Amino acid sequence: MEGSARKQTAARRRKDKPVMNRDTIDQGSWDGPIACTLSGEDQRQRGDEVARLFLDGRPRARQLPDGYALRFPGEDMWAARLLAFIVGERACCPFFTFELVFEAGQGAIWLHLRGPAGTTEFVAAMLARVEKQAPAQG
Protein backbone atom coordinates (compact mmCIF):
# COMPACT_ATOMS: atom_id res chain seq x y z
CA MET A 1 0.00 0.00 0.00
CA GLU A 2 2.86 2.34 0.81
CA GLY A 3 4.30 2.08 -2.75
CA SER A 4 0.89 2.74 -4.27
CA ALA A 5 0.41 5.88 -2.13
CA ARG A 6 3.81 7.17 -3.26
CA LYS A 7 2.89 6.64 -6.92
CA GLN A 8 -0.42 8.49 -6.43
CA THR A 9 1.35 11.42 -4.73
CA ALA A 10 3.93 11.61 -7.54
CA ALA A 11 1.16 11.51 -10.16
CA ARG A 12 -0.69 14.33 -8.36
CA ARG A 13 2.48 16.42 -8.27
CA ARG A 14 3.01 15.93 -12.02
CA LYS A 15 -0.58 17.04 -12.70
CA ASP A 16 -0.11 20.23 -10.70
CA LYS A 17 3.01 21.31 -12.59
CA PRO A 18 2.54 22.97 -15.96
CA VAL A 19 4.12 21.05 -18.81
CA MET A 20 6.20 23.17 -21.16
CA ASN A 21 6.13 22.04 -24.75
CA ARG A 22 5.90 23.69 -28.14
CA ASP A 23 2.10 23.66 -27.97
CA THR A 24 2.02 25.62 -24.69
CA ILE A 25 4.46 28.37 -25.72
CA ASP A 26 2.48 31.41 -26.83
CA GLN A 27 3.97 32.56 -30.13
CA GLY A 28 1.31 35.21 -30.63
CA SER A 29 2.13 37.45 -27.65
CA TRP A 30 4.68 39.55 -29.56
CA ASP A 31 3.05 42.60 -31.08
CA GLY A 32 6.17 44.40 -32.32
CA PRO A 33 7.79 44.20 -35.74
CA ILE A 34 9.51 41.08 -37.04
CA ALA A 35 12.81 42.86 -37.52
CA CYS A 36 16.27 43.24 -36.04
CA THR A 37 16.59 46.25 -33.75
CA LEU A 38 20.23 46.82 -34.73
CA SER A 39 21.13 49.30 -37.44
CA GLY A 40 24.12 50.31 -39.51
CA GLU A 41 27.51 48.96 -38.50
CA ASP A 42 26.11 47.01 -35.51
CA GLN A 43 23.72 45.11 -37.79
CA ARG A 44 26.48 44.38 -40.31
CA GLN A 45 28.80 43.06 -37.57
CA ARG A 46 26.07 40.88 -36.08
CA GLY A 47 25.20 39.59 -39.54
CA ASP A 48 28.85 38.61 -40.04
CA GLU A 49 28.86 36.76 -36.69
CA VAL A 50 25.68 34.87 -37.56
CA ALA A 51 26.99 34.04 -41.03
CA ARG A 52 30.24 32.68 -39.54
CA LEU A 53 28.27 30.45 -37.13
CA PHE A 54 26.02 29.12 -39.90
CA LEU A 55 28.86 28.69 -42.41
CA ASP A 56 30.94 26.78 -39.85
CA GLY A 57 28.05 24.57 -38.77
CA ARG A 58 26.43 24.14 -42.20
CA PRO A 59 23.13 23.36 -40.49
CA ARG A 60 20.45 21.35 -42.21
CA ALA A 61 17.29 23.46 -42.15
CA ARG A 62 13.77 22.17 -41.65
CA GLN A 63 10.86 24.56 -41.93
CA LEU A 64 8.41 24.61 -39.03
CA PRO A 65 4.92 26.15 -39.07
CA ASP A 66 6.26 29.12 -37.09
CA GLY A 67 9.96 29.24 -37.96
CA TYR A 68 12.85 26.88 -38.63
CA ALA A 69 14.74 24.02 -37.00
CA LEU A 70 18.46 24.02 -37.76
CA ARG A 71 20.58 20.90 -37.18
CA PHE A 72 24.13 21.47 -35.93
CA PRO A 73 26.90 19.04 -34.93
CA GLY A 74 26.53 17.52 -31.46
CA GLU A 75 29.88 18.48 -29.95
CA ASP A 76 29.96 20.49 -26.70
CA MET A 77 31.62 23.38 -28.51
CA TRP A 78 28.48 23.74 -30.64
CA ALA A 79 26.25 23.84 -27.58
CA ALA A 80 28.31 26.77 -26.26
CA ARG A 81 28.31 28.57 -29.62
CA LEU A 82 24.57 28.15 -30.05
CA LEU A 83 23.87 29.40 -26.54
CA ALA A 84 26.04 32.47 -27.23
CA PHE A 85 24.08 32.99 -30.47
CA ILE A 86 20.79 32.88 -28.55
CA VAL A 87 22.02 35.40 -25.96
CA GLY A 88 23.03 37.79 -28.75
CA GLU A 89 19.82 37.36 -30.74
CA ARG A 90 17.58 37.87 -27.72
CA ALA A 91 19.01 41.38 -27.43
CA CYS A 92 18.32 42.41 -31.04
CA CYS A 93 15.50 40.14 -32.27
CA PRO A 94 13.07 40.03 -29.32
CA PHE A 95 10.32 38.35 -31.35
CA PHE A 96 12.19 35.02 -31.49
CA THR A 97 11.43 32.05 -29.27
CA PHE A 98 14.49 29.80 -29.02
CA GLU A 99 14.78 26.11 -28.28
CA LEU A 100 17.85 23.90 -28.19
CA VAL A 101 17.11 20.20 -28.63
CA PHE A 102 19.88 17.71 -27.93
CA GLU A 103 19.53 14.31 -29.63
CA ALA A 104 20.25 11.25 -27.54
CA GLY A 105 23.69 9.65 -27.55
CA GLN A 106 25.62 12.91 -28.09
CA GLY A 107 23.78 13.33 -31.38
CA ALA A 108 23.00 16.51 -33.26
CA ILE A 109 21.86 19.74 -31.62
CA TRP A 110 18.77 21.36 -33.12
CA LEU A 111 18.28 25.09 -32.83
CA HIS A 112 14.62 26.06 -33.20
CA LEU A 113 14.02 29.68 -34.19
CA ARG A 114 10.31 30.30 -33.79
CA GLY A 115 7.96 33.22 -33.41
CA PRO A 116 4.79 34.95 -34.56
CA ALA A 117 3.63 35.38 -38.15
CA GLY A 118 6.48 36.58 -40.35
CA THR A 119 9.21 34.70 -38.46
CA THR A 120 9.49 31.90 -41.02
CA GLU A 121 10.08 34.41 -43.80
CA PHE A 122 12.58 36.37 -41.66
CA VAL A 123 14.66 33.24 -40.98
CA ALA A 124 14.42 32.13 -44.63
CA ALA A 125 15.84 35.49 -45.73
CA MET A 126 18.61 35.22 -43.14
CA LEU A 127 19.53 31.73 -44.36
CA ALA A 128 19.50 32.91 -47.99
CA ARG A 129 21.95 35.75 -47.14
CA VAL A 130 24.26 33.26 -45.44
CA GLU A 131 24.04 30.85 -48.38
CA LYS A 132 25.18 33.61 -50.75
CA GLN A 133 28.34 33.96 -48.66
CA ALA A 134 29.09 30.24 -48.68
CA PRO A 135 32.07 29.10 -50.74
CA ALA A 136 31.13 27.03 -53.78
CA GLN A 137 30.95 23.31 -53.09
CA GLY A 138 32.65 21.22 -55.68
pLDDT of residue 14: 46
Which residue range forms the structural domain that includes residue 110? 60-133
Residue 120 lies in a domain: yes
Residue 2 lies in a domain: no
Total domain count, the chain: 1
Q: What percent of the chain has pLDDT over 70?
A: 78
pLDDT one-digit tens code per residue, 30-84: 788 899 999 999 999 999 999 999 999 999 999 999 999 999 999 999 999 999 9
Residue 31 lies in a domain: no
pLDDT of residue 20: 42
Residue 77 lies in a domain: yes
* 21: pLDDT strictly greater than 60: no
pLDDT of residue 4: 60
Burial 95-112 (b: 16+ CB within 10 A, else e): bbbbeeeeeeeeebbbbb
Among 17, 25, 19, 14, smallest CA distance to 99 is for 25
Angle at 63 between CA 62 and CA 64, to 5 degrees: 115
Of residues 41 and 3, more confidence is placed in 41
User: How many other CB atoms are there within 10 angstroms of residue 55's CB atom?
Assistant: 14
